[in-house]
Amino acid sequence: MNIKKGDIVLMKKGKDKGKTGKVIKALPKDGKVVVEALNLIKKIQKAKKAGEKGQMISVPRSVFRANVMLICPNCKRPTRIGYAKDNSAKYRICKKCGSKIS
């Protein structure tokens, strides 16, 4: 999977289409990513101690990798990702500007 934790991505589909966010967690086995403050659901959190109140919190859910697109840190545009090798080290490159993505 070419999306990693810490990448800035653009949502291509769903209720948050067109919004950007940072990847909190990548789930390569499932082909999904969790994006900060996008694809939120409401979750009821019960009171932990006596006398406290329960509350509703918003939690980000995972989204399929195909529904997000990486934003290049150099050219600031949504782009596809390519790979290149340099002294047996493989790294990602931006398909639009050709720069290295760390």
Domains of the chain: 1-71 (2.30.30.30), 74-102 (no CATH)
Triad 100, 30, 57: Cα angle to 5°: 95
Query: Taking residues 7-17, what's their average pLDDT?
Result: 96
Task: State the pLDDT at residue 1.
Answer: 87
Task: State the pLDDT at residue 73.
Answer: 95
Task: State the pLDDT at residue 13.
Answer: 94
Residue 58 has pLDDT above 90, yes or no: yes
Are the beta carbons of 32 and 84 closer than 8 angstroms?
Answer: no
- Eight-class DSSP state of 25: E
Query: Taking residues 56-79, what's their average pLDDT?
Result: 96
Query: Taking residues 4-32, what's their average pLDDT?
Result: 96
Task: State the pLDDT at residue 91.
Answer: 95
pLDDT digits (tens, 9 = 90+) for 84-98: 999 889 999 999 999
